[in-house]
Structure 1
């Protein structure tokens, strides 16, 4: 684990596993926005065949604090990491908000992306309406009320923060018997959510016109593997719309997988990721 300093002095926490192999070197982009790297399980699906890099986005997790919370700044950080690690091209795997970040990076620096995996992202179109409806369907009235109560508290204790995160996240999983335990495991992470980053970045990306995103998609030259679980409360229809808007997009639907498919469909996800990372690698 090392820190890499950006051009404005902000240090990003990074971790590298694996070794040089037949597939493209890969960087994993966590979601949020405002969370921290939680993609170690994804790295373990890949690092016996390539080098895998992970990091905490600026202001998040173990990285330095930063008031500069813009997508363009995060894209610049990602490009600085590529140069630091010395790659001409690499593969990018983004999860949730990280999928959107990876997409933006791919249309900003198309010549630097050999392959892109858009994992459990929101896609194109109105995803919030069906997402909110499905989320409510997976909660009891008591859970909805308790989540609202905790969300309204300006300063939650550590215990109440874990309860809040668990309630907020347990609906992400398709396996309803294990959903609470998985969410509680994630909620126990020792890092604070960067709510400023969350609000600023969400407001910025929500304001993007759909046609502007489609224009960006048309600039992506790399093959894009769009992976989405059919049990994710975020609708697969918007993920499919994104895949269709990309020149080289392909949708992979993971049956009965939720927002974290490495938990519910690790074998299938591993095969999809490995195929995506090997794309165009041979002969180059």
Structure 2
């Protein structure tokens, strides 16, 4: 079972993925506040839509806004395991998994199939693989009808009182080293300590070395530019004594005057869903893949939570 691929779409175009799995399905579940019930995701919620049809592989469309706990990217395997065991316990593989991560107003919405490797009953190995994003028309063709692509009404669960998150500059080399589980969206190779040090001396600018640039968002632009822009704008806002609750809005607005396209999306990701290392155990709440790309390309400093 260890080599069984559940996405059946790695290396296949979006059109090929749809052609292989399209069929007439009915939406049988639409739960706006799905709780994966996982130890690392106690306060995580996302919208879950299930589409099923006779003789067809079920399709799960999962939608999440930023700030809803463990992200769809970092929790993909655990979330898919939860849906598989809860709704399709007798199936030998999980449903087809389509991720929609809403990054905020003005950002492009992507409908991204995720491929998993089945490791056992209701168990998925890490890392998964992100396939080429679908268009809204292809998504509708896949499930056999229209799909609600918004977040829907939701209320986040109450968290215990905690300090307001503060963004701070950090040396990339001082962050926890992403393990193999960080290699999620492409086939980029593991970065050794020696390679990371060499990249600090001879950095790479522009998109990183990625074997699947068409499908890997993380390698789609220049993290040197993005991190440098974020650091300068945040420092300037603090020098002006802008209130903490207003800084994010101010930095984003000023950022839109300086960068566009992918770089603006990446800037939003650093500010809205920042890299969040857990130093006590060397893992990440968010930002493993961004950290890996920064190591690959020699980014020296960035923002973290």
Please state which band the TM-score falls in when normalised by the shorter chain.
Answer: 0.3 to 0.5
- Which structure has greater helix proportion? 1
Q: Mark the structure with the bigger radius of gyration.
A: 2
Q: What TM-score comes out, normalization by structure 2 length? A: 0.33
- Which structure has greater strand proportion? 2
Q: What TM-score comes out, normalization by structure 1 length? A: 0.35
